[in-house]
Structure 1
Amino acid sequence: MESTTLSPGDAIEARCTKCRKNVGHVILTLSEEGPLTVQCNSCAREHKYRPPSVAKKPATRRSANPKDAERKEWETLRPSMNSDAARVYSMTDAYKVKALINHPLFGLGLVQRVVGSQKVEVLFEDGKKTMRCK
């Protein structure tokens, strides 16, 4: 593999501080380590050499909608739920994990976890809701 020696006047790709892009530059001064100052071919600005930046990977989505995962979880658990065994929801009652409740607005729900001393997280068909309890 050949090593190329750089000299003033050579073309090099660098990150322009004004254009904020990787563009062609001309080397103005050199040191033993590499280019010191360069001149941008686009805007003609002279600045310290900055190596070209690497393109970032596009962000990947974990899930299109968190409600979709909750809805799938509901669909898998629903056949095992007995609506006759569900207690009518009341803020003054205490609930344990895996307890079935029947809410007048949200319908049948399953207590997923106890959040603090007076709240529970309940999975309903529409998604998870944090409900107040005793």
Structure 2
Amino acid sequence: MQSTKLTPGDSIEARCTKCRKNTAHVILTLGEKEPLTVECGSCARQHKYRPPSSPKKPVARRNTNSKDAERKEWETLRPSMNGANAHEYSMTGTYKVKNLINHPIFGLGLVQRVVGAQKVEVLFEDGKKMMRCK
């Protein structure tokens, strides 16, 4: 909190419940330690004081090393794959680990693992993809 004493009418940064972001607010009423109600400077909505939220961490992206590893794995497994034995991919199909599938966009793929009830992880030439299944 701030080291100076707050009074009604002071400006403070808070999280607006309507704008859904940190904006400048005017203090309307005070409690013992912090403001009770504030008014947003952007949308003029009056609401309970909510401290400003901290910025979210960026989503971690898969690094290129894992993509390279997936390509190498594909290259080692590809000679043993027979495209004639591959099942045509369908979202309503059921698949097991080591099943070969033929996807209309991604091409030939090998089921690596079953993830939950309706997803499988498939290794394609472009890398691993999560696919829906029955």
Alignment TM-score, normalising by the size of structure 1:
0.54
1:104/1:25 Cα in 2 relative to 1: closer, same or farther (>3 Å)?
A: closer
Displacement, 1:33?
1.9
Alignment of 1:38 with 2:38, yes or no, is yes
Displacement, 1:30?
0.5
**Counterpart code for 2:20:** R
Alignment partners' CA distance in 1, 2:36 and 2:45 = 14
For 2:110, the equivalent position in structure 1 comes to 129
CA contact (8 A) 2:11 2:27 kept: yes
Unmatched runs of 5 consecutive residues or more in structure 2:
85-95, 101-106, 113-134
Percent of aligned pairs with the same amino acid: 62
**Cα RMSD for the two superposed structures:** 3.5
Alignment TM-score, normalising by the size of structure 2:
0.54
Unmatched runs of 5 consecutive residues or more in structure 1:
79-100, 107-118
For 1:72, the equivalent position in structure 2 comes to 72
* Aligned-partner SS, 1:71: helix
**Counterpart code for 2:83:** L
Q: How many residues align?
A: 93
CA contact (8 A) 2:83 2:108 kept: no
**Counterpart code for 2:27:** I
Alignment of 1:61 with 2:61, yes or no, is yes
Alignment partners' CA distance in 1, 2:73 and 2:97 = 17
CA contact (8 A) 1:11 1:25 kept: yes
User: Aligned runs of 1:1-134 on 2, under 5 Å?
Assistant: 3-63=3-63, 68-75=68-75, 102-105=80-83, 121=98, 129-130=110-111
* Aligned-partner SS, 2:47: strand
